[in-house]
Structure 1
Amino acid sequence: MSGKKFKTKFPGVRARKHPTRKHGVRFDECYFIRYRVDGKQIEEMYGWLSQKMTAEGAYQLLGELKDNSRRGVAPRTLKEMRELNRKAEEADKAQAISFEEYFDNHYLPEAKQRKKPKTIQTEKSHKRDWLAPVFGGKPMRDITGGDLQQVKDRLFAKERSPRTIQHSLAVFRLVWNHAKKRGFVRSECPTANINMPRVNNARSRFLTPTEASNLLEAVKALDERAWEITLAALYTGARLGELSTLTWAGVDLQGDSIRFIHTKTGKPRNIPVAAPLKSMLTNKPKGEPDDPVFTNRKGEPWKDAPWAFRQAVEDLGLNSGREDRRDKIVFHSLRHTSASMMLSAGVDIRSLQSLFGWSTLQMAGRYTHAIDEAKVSAVATLERILSEKHGKLLLLRSKNEA
């Protein structure tokens, strides 16, 4: 672009003609605005006549910028205005992104860095099978509670379990909150308007002392390493994940204590070491402080319940004839067994809450059967003692009773 700038009839607006390029029959013109900001003279290009920019338009914009400068608000320069417009366009574009696109290009790459492959696969299947077919590429910002109700209705129509419905909507909520933190959506997640189906997956069954003893023997006959973690689960009431992440740094045999750092609630928990557990740990080869205590035959921490445990349960017929999966013995049943036995022996709820890491006392509700059985046993014991001591127990009545 050549040629000198010249004044227009609008103060503060200058123009420059293009030497060759024409706009219609006249030479194209480029317009500039000149003004002061914070005592500094600024000149910025407004645009070309061929781009539908005019000297009058430049003058109107100049007035807006000067007014903003007097009031101390942005934008005060054309550069600031263009930057704000660019950000607004990016925000609008981000707001228009579809759920599927955000899931694949933003949520999934980050989630893969912190979640297990099995979890990622499950979330992908929920997106593919239940969420995406309803949304159909709709922008995330336009998804409503009505869309999520359709997802819920489709799952019900396909006779999926309440837990599956919860999981599908939970995946949507995870992705939505992920997007909100990054500015892709602004409103609250629409799952708040959906009534979630009630789910009762609580397992209440526990082993009797005889069943527990037989199970330990059967597991040990199949796999010594599997027996070690099974024994530890029974005597600590710890979850499989807590035992799998236990390192030798958390084992204090001199102090008869085990410290679980990686717990479900995120709060470290100390557990006293029972004699059988201490004997097993004492005879077990020690590792470095950061080495896992319980490993499989490959020397890796357990990720799932040991095969030997599941095989022993099957061999002993502990789940024979039981159709309800909540009534079947699984590895987590060892935790229920520990709690139930302690309650039956008279251990108070507060102590168990600390030992088992329950966030609330309501978590002990599933063990009320053990408390009831303990009460029955206590009354029977009282009856036996009194009968043995006095031979025949007489019921005394007051004089007023006939």
Structure 2
Amino acid sequence: MASIWKHPRSRYWSACFTDASGRQRKRSTKETDRKKALKIAEAWEKEYRVTRTEEQTRKVFAEIRREIHGETTLDQSIEQYLQEWLTSKKKEISGATWSKYEYAVRHFCDWLGETREKDLSALTPALIRRWRDALAEKLAAKTVNNALKVLGVALGQAESSEQIERNPVSKVNSLKLDTVTRPTFTLPQLKRILSVAKGEWYGMTLAGLYTGQRLRDIATLTWGSVDREREELTLITSKTGRTVGIPIASPLMDYLRKEPTPIDGGVPVFPDAYRTVVEQDRTGTLSNQFYGILVNAGLAKPRSKKSTGTGHSGPRERGGLSFHCLRHTATSLLKNAGVSEAVAMDIIGHDSKAISTLYTHIEVDAKRQAISKLPDVTSGSLSSGQQ
């Protein structure tokens, strides 16, 4: 039973209680009021008693499972469970997605320190919440929420297999998403990029700007998606699985006409970029290459080679110019030209399935007219609508 004691030379009461291991503990309450100090002592012992009861219950449960089934995964540490779960996912998801899973698990275990050696019952909503907040100090809210979701999936499986009573992540709220202005390129900046973009990157930059598609979809574009006669591009976006039909802007069409058209429609338009994505199953290398172009164009500072501790698969620092800004730029240019939001979103392809469904009946002529309003960044005058 908890009690309190005060050293003759101290003004504070100390709590005397039994911890989860059954050991007698003594700790200062920093209270001068006897009644308040006793309440603190009783609360501490109650908390330890609950923890001890949970651990004892789990051990008994594990013993019963062991007698029936032999060795049980209930004996696993937090790190052992998460690593085995991660390994099981490797054949079920893409390499890029697995890298995100791996980062979340690795960062969580590193953050836990010695606690990662404890069993899964040591994971509480409060602990998960502290990890979430630690991540939020250096990463964007969306990235933190994705990491939290990964951990929730892992521990959800543990709950389903009765390794834990409930998933602690289910009691942790996601962060409110950042409200930020997405960066776009100005027309002079686009000309500077094109002036230093060599080989495939010249065409990929034009494709990113005039279609608004993501880097992976541009890099894996094949000639079968390009209709030269109708001057249209048709592809299925990798993120949403939506089929997008886009009239090809004149500057991009001029570039494509200069390239030889193979008989096999499966041949990639940008072979080197295609090979990189297929071999690595991610676009990190291509993103770094484009960042190098931005540096050469004087639009970004060289990145430090000093280790950040996140690894190559870890998330980047928030903000800054990137290939994805071409997507934002395309949206901005269309809207500034007076193109309706419905037409602009149908051209770019929206992440929301509801909006995608709403915009499926936009006529090709309407989109062609919208694309014609985009400026020609390959010309000297940058006048709108040049053919």
- Please, what TM-score do these two structures have when normalized by structure 2? 0.58
Shift of 1:360: 4.5
Residue 280 (structure 1) aligned with residue 255 (structure 2):
yes
Shift of 1:341: 0.7
Aligned to 1:111: 90
Shift of 1:120: 5.3
Aligned to 1:291: 267
Residue 176 (structure 1) aligned with residue 176 (structure 2):
no
SS at match of 2:342: helix
Q: Which moved more, 1:131-140 or 1:243-252?
A: 131-140
| Structure 1 pair 234–170 and aligned structure 2 pair: CA distance change class (3 A) | same
C-alpha deviations, 1:254-290, integer Å up to 9, x for none?
Answer: 2222122133222221111112212222222334333
SS at match of 1:286: coil
CA distance in 1, matches of 2:148, 2:70: 26
Aligned to 2:333: 341
- Between the two proteins, what is the percent identity of the paired residues? 24
Which letter maps to 1:195?
A: N
Asked if the contact 1:250/1:258 (under 8 Å) is kept, the reply is: yes
Residue 93 (structure 1) aligned with residue 98 (structure 2):
no
Aligned to 1:244: 219
Structure having the higher Rg: 1
Which letter maps to 1:356?
A: I
Asked if the contact 2:217/2:238 (under 8 Å) is kept, the reply is: yes
Q: Which moved more, 1:288-297 or 1:299-308?
A: 299-308
C-alpha deviations, 1:89-130, integer Å up to 9, x for none?
Answer: 449935564432222224323325533274354234224312
| Structure 1 pair 155–89 and aligned structure 2 pair: CA distance change class (3 A) | farther
Aligned to 1:71: none
C-alpha deviations, 1:337-375, integer Å up to 9, x for none?
Answer: 111111000000011121122144999xxxxxxxxxxxx
Asked if the contact 2:139/2:318 (under 8 Å) is kept, the reply is: no
Matches within 5 A, 1:67-216: 89-90=68-69, 93-94=72-73, 97-111=76-90, 114-116=93-95, 118-119=99-100, 121-131=102-112, 133-139=114-120, 143-152=123-132, 159-161=137-139, 163=141, 165-179=144-158, 183-185=161-163, 189-200=167-178, 202=180, 204-216=182-194
Which letter maps to 2:83?
A: D
C-alpha deviations, 1:124-167, integer Å up to 9, x for none?
Answer: 42243125644542236x633133234346557xx544546435
Aligned to 1:230: 205
Shift of 1:198: 3.1
SS at match of 1:296: helix
Supply the RMSD in Å over aligned alpha carbons: 3.8
Matches within 5 A, 1:28-39: none
Task: Choose from 341, 344, 349 the match for 1:352.
Answer: 344
CA distance in 2, matches of 1:194, 1:170: 10
| Structure 1 pair 362–96 and aligned structure 2 pair: CA distance change class (3 A) | same
C-alpha deviations, 1:298-357, integer Å up to 9, x for none?
Answer: 95448343666333322333347xxxx766321111111111111000000011121122
Which letter maps to 1:130?
A: W
| Structure 1 pair 119–306 and aligned structure 2 pair: CA distance change class (3 A) | closer
SS at match of 2:272: coil
| Structure 1 pair 329–198 and aligned structure 2 pair: CA distance change class (3 A) | same
Shift of 1:249: 2.2
Gaps in structure 1 of 5+ consecutive residues? 1-84, 364-402
CA distance in 2, matches of 1:168, 1:134: 19
SS at match of 1:228: helix
Q: How many residues align?
A: 270
Higher RCO structure (Cα 8 Å, ≥6 apart): 2
- Please, what TM-score do these two structures have when normalized by structure 1? 0.56
SS at match of 1:213: helix
CA distance in 2, matches of 1:155, 1:274: 42
CA distance in 2, matches of 1:177, 1:255: 50
SS at match of 1:195: coil
C-alpha deviations, 1:174-204, integer Å up to 9, x for none?
Answer: 31234456x3557663223213333427552
C-alpha deviations, 1:2-56, integer Å up to 9, x for none?
Answer: xxxxxxxxxxxxxxxxxxxxxxxxxxxxxxxxxxxxxxxxxxxxxxxxxxxxxxx
| Structure 1 pair 253–187 and aligned structure 2 pair: CA distance change class (3 A) | farther
